[in-house]
Amino acid sequence: MQECGLVATDIACRRGDRILFRGLSLSVGAGEVVHLAGPNGIGKSSLIRILAGLLRPFSGSVERHGALALSDERLALDGHEPLEKALAFWQRIDHSPQSHADFGLADLLDVPVRYLSTGQRKRAALARVSASGAPIWLLDEPLNGLDTHWSCIAQAAIKAHCQAGGAVVIASHQPLSLAAVKIVELLDFQP
Confidence of residue 5 (pLDDT cuts 50, 70, 90): very high
Average pLDDT (5-15) is 96
Query: HEC states along the chain?
Result: CCCCEEEEEEEEEEECCEEEEEEEEEEEECCCEEEEECCCCCCHHHHHHHHHCCCCCCEEEEEEECCEEEECCCCCCCCCCEHHHHHHHHHHHHCCCCCCHHHCCHHHCCCEHHHCCHHHHHHHHHHHHHHCCCCEEEEECCCCCCCHHHHHHHHHHHHHHHHCCCEEEEECCCCCCCCCEEEEEHHHHCC
The dihedrals phi and psi of 185, each to the nearest 5 degrees, come to -90, 110
pLDDT of residue 99: 53
Model confidence over 48-59: pLDDT tens digits?
A: 999 999 999 999
Domain count, the chain: 1
Which of 60, 72, 56 is CA-nearest to residue 126? 72
What's the one-letter identity of residue 137?
W
> What is the domain-level CATH number for residue 25?
3.40.50.300
| Rounded-to-integer distance, Cα 7 and Cα 160, Å | 22
pLDDT of residue 101: 46
Q: What is the dihedral of CA 101, 106, 112, 113, to 10 degrees?
A: -30
Model confidence over 26-56: pLDDT tens digits?
A: 999 999 999 999 998 899 999 999 999 999 9
Average pLDDT (112-140) is 91
| Rounded-to-integer distance, Cα 149 and Cα 14, Å | 37
pLDDT of residue 94: 73
State which residues form the domain around 36: 5-189
Say whether pLDDT at 100 is over 60: no
What's the one-letter identity of residue 187?
L
pTM: 0.90
Q: What is the mean pLDDT of the chain?
A: 90
Say whether pLDDT at 61 is over 90: yes
Q: Contact 162/176 with Cβ under 8 angstroms?
A: no
pLDDT of residue 1: 62
Q: What is the dihedral of CA 12, 184, 119, 50, to 10 degrees?
A: 20
